[in-house]
Structure 1
Amino acid sequence: MNATEAARLPVRPGEDPWTPKELAEVRGQLENEIAAQREKIRETEDEVAERLTDPVEGAGDDPADTGAKAFQREHDLALAYNTRDLLAEGERAIERMDAGTYGVCESCGQAIGKARLQAFPRATLCVTCKQREERR
């Protein structure tokens, strides 16, 4: 993204416009998170698949062992689903950067705020709308 395109992204009153360097830093952070999340998902899926296909896994287990293993498997899958959600949010943030809509609140259409996005680059809501959503 060039300087003109970066400067066109919305900011809150009193904030300086985005610079290409600032936007590149946020994008780099998102890309690093995305790569780490993809790796984590792959590792978790490999572990779960290995446990499911191991013919001796669970052989001779008592009911408590079986329950503990089922709980662990469910826990691992829940973490993988959460990681998938974070991955999708990161990918969506990069898509918004490419489309020139990064920093626009998906609820009210106002600027999310550069400082908020630098702290939490996947944000899709301004602070006011996020607070309203959390109260529900």
Structure 2
Amino acid sequence: MTERTDSTEATVKAPEGQPVALVVGADEDPWTTEELDELRQTLRGDSARLREEIAGAEHDIADLLRRSTSDGGEDQVDAGSKTFEREHELSLAASHRDMLNQTERALSRIEDGSYGICESCGNPIGKARLLAFPRATLCVACKQRQERR
């Protein structure tokens, strides 16, 4: 059963095993089962890809650390280059972990029915925005406010 207080706010509770009706804007069509299945598939694919990229970056970091301890007597340029490469790999891994967390969070929000609700103001994020950027947690207005800070 889905309780709605208006088009911008919802308390979503579905009986066990029943699909959850997600919030959309007043001028948008409800999510279809096919759209949600495609969205889940996209997010799960992103999650698997990100996990592989994180594992690859961690392997590269371990390799760089191993090489840096075994290469004695290198000049400053080589040491600086290796440090830069290591920092780049660390940054890449951190970025991928952040995206993975956002992806996993989007999947759990779909399952608990809170997907599509802005985490700042509680208004609908917008179906078009979510189709373009499935990990979005803020509506356009709140995202713009956040970026201005």
TM-score, normalising length: structure 1: 0.91
| Identity percentage of aligned residues | 51
**TM-score computed with the length of structure 2 as normaliser:** 0.83
Which aligned runs of 4 or more in structure 1 are off by greater than 3 angstroms?
Answer: 54-57
Aligned to 1:81: 94
Q: Counterparts of 1:48-67 in structure 2 under 5 Å? A: 48-54=61-67, 57-67=70-80
- 1:100 aligned residue (106, 113, 137): 113
Unpaired runs of 5+ residues, structure 2, are: 1-13
**Unmatched 5+ residue regions in structure 1?**
none
Checking the alignment, whether the CA contact within 8 Å between 1:103 and 1:117 is kept in structure 2 is yes
Structure with more of its chain in helix, by fraction = 1
* Structure ranking higher in strand proportion: 2
8 Å Cα contact 2:24/2:125 also seen in 1: yes
Find the partner of 2:29 among 16, 25, 46. 16
**1:12, 1:52 → 2: CA distance?**
50
Question: What per-residue deviation string (whole Å, max 9, x for no partner) do you get for residues 102-129 of structure 1?
Answer: 1000000011011110100000000011
- Report if aligned partners of 1:11, 1:17 keep a CA contact under 8 Å in 2: yes
Question: Are the structure 2 counterparts of residues 90 and 55 from structure 1 closer, same or farther at C-alpha, using a change threshold of 3 Å?
Answer: closer
Q: What is the number of equivalent residue pairs in this alignment?
A: 133
Match of 1:91 among 104, 113, 116: 104
